[in-house]
Amino acid sequence: MKNVDDLIESAAELAGQGLSKGEIADELNVSRETASWLVERGGTEVAPQPEPTGGPHDIHVDWSAIGRDSGRLSDVSRALADLLSKQGDGVDLTIGIEKAGAPIATHVATALETDLGTYAPRKHQWEEGDIEELEGTFSRNFAGIRGRDCYVVDDTITSGTTMTETVEAIRSEGGNPVACAVLVDKQGVEEIEGVPVYSLVQVIRVGNSE
């Protein structure tokens, strides 16, 4: 994807497939507010060219060159695993945040020889209104959490809301999140709820975003 028009077209296509705005945000690696903005502009036949200051301030991360090749994904995931391997002793569970975090977590779990779990955040159900009224879920098809130390893996941190939700959900299930890791951190987050966060790439905004 090279410009905003491409993102608008992709958002319209995903909305046409029945994805919620929260899922579209996840697919395009943007905030929920940005996803709403893109979907609204994709509702017309020809998407208008947005004004420079007419949209939300966000950064789109396209890591599809990694994601579409299993070898590259495995290599990058091993780098994440190396970051996590220095955190905690005896951690035996890796939690991947669905959707994009799950395949990364699978490779990380293989590299670290841990069990695997997945968490579907509440943003996947979000369309409009208060997201706090929704609930995320852990898949029962994967490893249980109670009483276990675990790592948390996702592709990007946009606002930190999803990672915070996941850490809180793990604790509510009786687990202990030891460290988090992502490919790209848009916020420069060092810790979430007392849990250290590690990233392969940090995006640093320089200057006035207005």
Q: Do 127 and 33 lie in a common domain?
A: no
Q: Do 27 and 93 lie in a common domain?
A: no
Q: How many domains does the chain have?
A: 2
Q: Do 27 and 92 lie in a common domain?
A: no
pLDDT of residue 18: 80
Q: Do 142 and 177 lie in a common domain?
A: yes
Kindly list the distances between the CA atom of residue 127 and the CA atoms of 29, 32, 39, 42, 45, in Å, as whole numbers in the listed order. 16, 9, 11, 15, 22
Residue 185 domain-assigned (yes or no): yes
Rounded to two decimals, the pTM is: 0.75
Say if residues 193 and 168 touch (Cβ distance below 8 Å).
yes
Residue 148 domain-assigned (yes or no): yes
pLDDT of residue 1: 46
Residue 2 has pLDDT above 90, yes or no: no
Q: Do 181 and 101 lie in a common domain?
A: yes
Residue 93 domain-assigned (yes or no): yes
Q: Do 109 and 10 lie in a common domain?
A: no
Which range (12-21, 106-115, 148-157, 177-186) has the least confidence?
Answer: 12-21
What residues make up the domain containing 97? 64-202
pLDDT of residue 140: 94
Residue 57 domain-assigned (yes or no): no
Q: Do 119 and 186 lie in a common domain?
A: yes
pLDDT of residue 89: 86
Residue 54 has pLDDT above 80, yes or no: no
DSSP states of 134-155 as a string? S--EE-TTS---TT-EEEEEEE
Q: Do 18 and 94 lie in a common domain?
A: no
Question: If pLDDT is split at 50, 70 and 90, which confidence band does 126 have?
Answer: low
pLDDT of residue 55: 57
Residue 53 domain-assigned (yes or no): no
Residue 49 domain-assigned (yes or no): no
pLDDT of residue 91: 96
Residues 156-188 pLDDT 10s: 998 899 999 999 999 999 999 999 999 999 888
Q: Do 122 and 72 lie in a common domain?
A: yes
Higher pLDDT, 92 or 208: 92
Q: Do 128 and 27 lie in a common domain?
A: no
CATH at 154: 3.40.50.2020
Percent with pLDDT over 70 in the chain: 86
Query: How are the residues of the chain apportioned to helix, strand and coil, as percentages rounded to the nearest 5?
Result: 40, 20, 40
Residue 69 has pLDDT above 50, yes or no: yes
